[in-house]
């Protein structure tokens, strides 16, 4: 058994659904072979039991107790082999299921993380969640059925050889009848696939609505919109239920066919066998064996039907997985594209320059950006961190577009104005890779004026933070997020409105501590708070998207009226 998750899930073949499923199978061919081997042994052992029983009965008819005893032992050995092989087959089948499902989960998770905001902008969160939680399992189910399907094919051939040797007419019935049973199920497969697709899309919409409702529950309660969303969720649930009922109807019809057609086949086989016994063409033991074969053949036929159902769902699931993997990152990576990367910028601190606006952030400085339009400076922060494509930003003499994304992320960290906290311990949230000790984490929390958060949590750094930090106030979440980026000790740190949710006293404390903690490293802060701006080495003022003035906070307050009005929130004189 392999350890999960995989160290490297690999690079999938995304040219088509068939190629993708084949790629998944090739990545776990060993367990598929093991499962197929035990699947063959398991089913062939079952197929030979009626054969052994028939010979035993012939021994009873001939009053040969020795022959009967030998065939009884043979049947007992087959039963033991069947039990042991069934156990190993089931173990391998479950492994195949888990390997395929986990590989897809890792592929989707890795691609979503590498694509940044491209995936959530292209499709809903519910679609991605459904792909991870549902579609991956459908592909895994197909991989689980494959060993049994291989065993079904081989056992069918074994039975066909035996019955042909027993009686050519019955053998031909088996060889021709069983494939016809499988072909007869074909017309049900296409509507089943279509209804699966519709049910899958409806479920994705419902999941997305549920996730959005939970995320905005506080706001909904504040405006009294709970009933509206409950009604909308009920309507979507009814759509999912109706799609599920239609899907279940088709599946029920398929199951009924799986019972009816083999039943009809069994009646015909028994009728022909009985006539052959009456005519003396076969022995009574052979007739009993034929009954056993007829019942046994229900298993391969059902397995073939299950394979058809599982592969249909897997094809639908693969389409959704490929839809996620097809989303291209908004920021192209020269490393991923195979293009020659620029020589990495020097390890020593370098100036951060935006050629489009003329902004130059000196290394080791605390620079703050102010604009009459906050959206402009927020967009500029994204460019400085290469979170958007096609920027004209340089680190030293090297354009960020020519550096691998991993190199940019390592050296430049951008903190969102609305950062997200994840479920888990506070320690893992601050330091996911476990590279810092308690002293460093506590220092970062103190720098962000988040000491009160540690005091209110009973287990301190080991306390559990709920999803999205729901147990914390808005100001606490913002300060914990600030501590998280401070722990990185990045060469360049870009903060967007890091104190918008805290009071003035806390904001003043953060401003002073941030300056001391980041001494010698480049820090860019997008803010219009005078408490923060007073601590800046350099303040850059943008008016109507143009760099207009640069200086200290006090200098700009006295020389630039537009800057003063923006910072002090004065109204324009009439």
Whole-angstrom distance, CA of residue 105 vs CA of residue 101: 6
Is residue 4 in a domain?
Answer: no
What's the pLDDT score for residue 216? 57
List the alpha helices (DSSP H) in 351-450: 374-384, 405-411, 426-430, 438-447
Q: What is the pLDDT averaged over residues 108-119?
A: 84
Is residue 427 in a domain?
Answer: yes
DSSP track, 473-497: -HHHHHHHHHHHHHHH--SEEEEES
Do 356 and 500 sit in the same domain of this protein? yes
Whole-angstrom distance, CA of residue 118 vs CA of residue 389: 11
pLDDT tens for 518-543 read: 999 999 999 999 999 999 999 999 99
Do 400 and 272 sit in the same domain of this protein? no
Is residue 331 in a domain?
Answer: no
Give the CA-trace dihedral at 229, 231, 232, 234, to 10 degrees.
Answer: 120
Is residue 86 in a domain?
Answer: yes
4-13, 242-251, 326-335, range with greatest mean pLDDT: 4-13
Do 487 and 548 sit in the same domain of this protein? yes
State the pLDDT confidence band at 119, using cuts at 50, 70 and 90: confident
State the pLDDT confidence band at 352, using cuts at 50, 70 and 90: very high
- Token pair 């999938």 in the structure block, residue: 12
Q: What is the pLDDT averaged over residues 482-506?
A: 93
Do 282 and 386 sit in the same domain of this protein? no
Is residue 487 in a domain?
Answer: yes
State the pLDDT confidence band at 1, using cuts at 50, 70 and 90: low
β-sheet bridge partners, residue 496: 526
Q: Are 453 and 479 in contact (CB under 8 A)?
A: yes
What's the pLDDT score for residue 513? 94
Report the number of secondary-structure helices (H) and strands (E) in the chain.
23, 12
Per-chain mean pLDDT for the chain: 84
CATH number, domain at 280?
Answer: 1.20.1560.10
More confident position, 25 or 165: 25
* Measured CA distances, 110 to 100, 103, 113, 116, 323 (Å): 15, 10, 5, 10, 14
Do 134 and 191 sit in the same domain of this protein? yes
Q: Are 215 and 468 in contact (CB under 8 A)?
A: yes
What's the pLDDT score for residue 149? 93
pLDDT tens for 52-99 read: 888 888 788 788 888 889 999 999 999 999 999 999 999 999 999 999
pLDDT tens for 124-176 read: 777 787 788 889 999 999 999 999 999 999 988 888 888 788 778 777 777 67
Show the beta-strand stretches assigned E in 501-545: 522-526, 538-543
Do 317 and 378 sit in the same domain of this protein? no
Element at 573 (helix H, strand E): none
What's the pLDDT score for residue 25? 95
Do 125 and 58 sit in the same domain of this protein? yes
* Domain end position, chosen among 325, 360, 375: 325
Q: To the nearest 5 percent, what fractions of the chain are helix, strand and coil?
A: 70, 10, 25
Is residue 403 in a domain?
Answer: yes
Show the beta-strand stretches assigned E in 420-490: 424-425, 464-465
Is residue 182 in a domain?
Answer: yes
> How many other C-beta atoms lie within 10 A of the C-beta of residue 248?
13
Give the CA-trace dihedral at 266, 269, 271, 274, to 10 degrees.
Answer: -120
Do 307 and 367 sit in the same domain of this protein? no
User: Does the pLDDT at position 450 exceed 80?
Assistant: yes
Instruction: Say whether 199 sits in a helix, a strand or coil.
Output: helix
State the number of CA atoms in the 13 A half-sphere of 17 facing the CB: 14
Whole-angstrom distance, CA of residue 235 vs CA of residue 327: 30
Q: What is the pLDDT averaged over residues 281-307?
A: 78
Do 106 and 200 sit in the same domain of this protein? yes
Range of the domain at 377: 349-568
- Which tokens in the block code for residue 27? 């990545």
Total structural domains within the chain: 2
Do 317 and 395 sit in the same domain of this protein? no
CATH number, domain at 379?
Answer: 3.40.50.300
User: Does the pLDDT at position 222 exceed 60?
Assistant: no
Do 165 and 240 sit in the same domain of this protein? yes
Beta pairing class for 538-543 and 522-526: unpaired
0.75 cut: is pTM over it? Answer: no
User: Does the pLDDT at position 446 exceed 90?
Assistant: yes
Is residue 137 in a domain?
Answer: yes
What's the pLDDT score for residue 574? 47
- Which tokens in the block code for residue 269? 């086989």
Q: Are 368 and 539 in contact (CB under 8 A)?
A: yes
Show the beta-strand stretches assigned E in 262-392: 352-354, 359-361, 366-371
Q: What is the pLDDT averaged over residues 211-224?
A: 57
Do 381 and 257 sit in the same domain of this protein? no
What's the pLDDT score for residue 66? 87
Angle CA 428–433–439, to nearest 5: 65
More confident position, 209 or 343: 209
């Amino acid at each position: 058994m392999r350890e999960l998750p995989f160290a490297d899930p690999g690079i999938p073949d995304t040219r088509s659904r068939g190629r993708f499923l084949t790629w998944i199978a090739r990545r776990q061919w060993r367990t598929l072979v093991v499962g197929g081997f035990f699947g063959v042994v398991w089913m062939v052992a079952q197929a030979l039991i009626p054969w052994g029983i028939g010979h035993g009965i012939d021994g009873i008819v001939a009053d040969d107790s020795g022959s009967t005893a030998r065939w009884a032992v043979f049947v007992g050995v087959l039963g033991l082999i069947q039990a042991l092989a069934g156990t190993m087959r089931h173990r391998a089948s479950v492994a195949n299921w888990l390997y395929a499902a986990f590989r897809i989960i890792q592929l989707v998770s890795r691609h979503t993380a590498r694509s940044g905001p491209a995936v959530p902008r292209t499709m809903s969160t519910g679609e991605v969640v459904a792909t991870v939680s549902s579609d991956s399992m459908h592909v895994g189910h197909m991989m689980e059925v494959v060993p049994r399907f291989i065993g079904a094919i081989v056992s069918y051939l074994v039975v066909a050889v035996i019955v042909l040797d027993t009686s050519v007419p019955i053998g031909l019935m088996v060889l021709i009848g069983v494939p016809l049973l499988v072909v007869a199920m074909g017309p049900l497969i296409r509507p089943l696939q279509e209804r699966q697709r519709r049910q899958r899309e409806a479920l994705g919409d419902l999941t997305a609505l549920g996730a959005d409702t939970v995320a905005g529950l506080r706001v909904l309660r504040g405006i009294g919109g709970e009933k509206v969303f409950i009604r909308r969720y009920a309507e979507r649930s009814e759509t999912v239920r109706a799609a599920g009922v239609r899907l279940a109807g088709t599946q029920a019809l398929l199951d009924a066919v799986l019972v009816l057609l083999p039943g009809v086949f069994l009646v015909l086989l028994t009728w022909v066998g009985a006539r052959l016994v009456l005519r003396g063409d076969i022995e009574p033991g052979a007739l009993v064996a034929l009954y056993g074969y007829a019942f046994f053949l229900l298993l391969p036929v059902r397995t073939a039907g299950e394979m058809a159902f599982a592969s249909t769902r897997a094809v639908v699931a693969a389409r959704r997985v490929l839809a996620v993997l097809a989303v291209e990152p908004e920021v192209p990576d020269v490393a991923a594209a195979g293009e020659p990367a620029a020589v990495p910028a020097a390890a020593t601190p370098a100036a951060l320059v935006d050629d489009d606006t003329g902004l130059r952030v000196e290394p080791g400085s605390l620079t703050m950006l102010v604009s009459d339009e906050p959206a402009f400076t927020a967009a500029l922060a994204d460019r400085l961190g290469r979170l958007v494509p096609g920027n004209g930003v340089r680190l030293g003499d090297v354009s960020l577009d020519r550096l691998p994304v991993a190199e940019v992320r390592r050296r430049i960290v951008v903190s969102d104005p609305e950062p997200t906290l994840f479920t888990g311990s506070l320690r893992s949230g601050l330091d996911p890779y476990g590279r810092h000790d308690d002293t460093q984490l506590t220092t970062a929390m103190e720098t962000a004026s988040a000491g009160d958060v540690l005091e209110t949590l009973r287990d301190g750094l080991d306390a559990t933070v709920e999803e999205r930090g729901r147990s914390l106030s808005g100001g606490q979440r913002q300060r914990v997020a600030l501590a998280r980026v401070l722990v990185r000790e990045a060469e360049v740190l870009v903060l967007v409105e890091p104190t918008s949710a805290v009071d003035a006293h806390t904001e003043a404390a953060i401003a002073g501590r941030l300056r001391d903690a980041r001494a010698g490293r480049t820090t860019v802060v997008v803010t219009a708070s005078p408490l923060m701006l007073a601590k800046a080495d350099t303040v850059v003022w943008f008016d109507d998207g143009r760099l207009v003035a640069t200086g200290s906070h006090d200098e700009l307050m006295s020389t630039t009226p537009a800057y003063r009005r923006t910072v002090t929130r004065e109204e324009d004189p009439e």
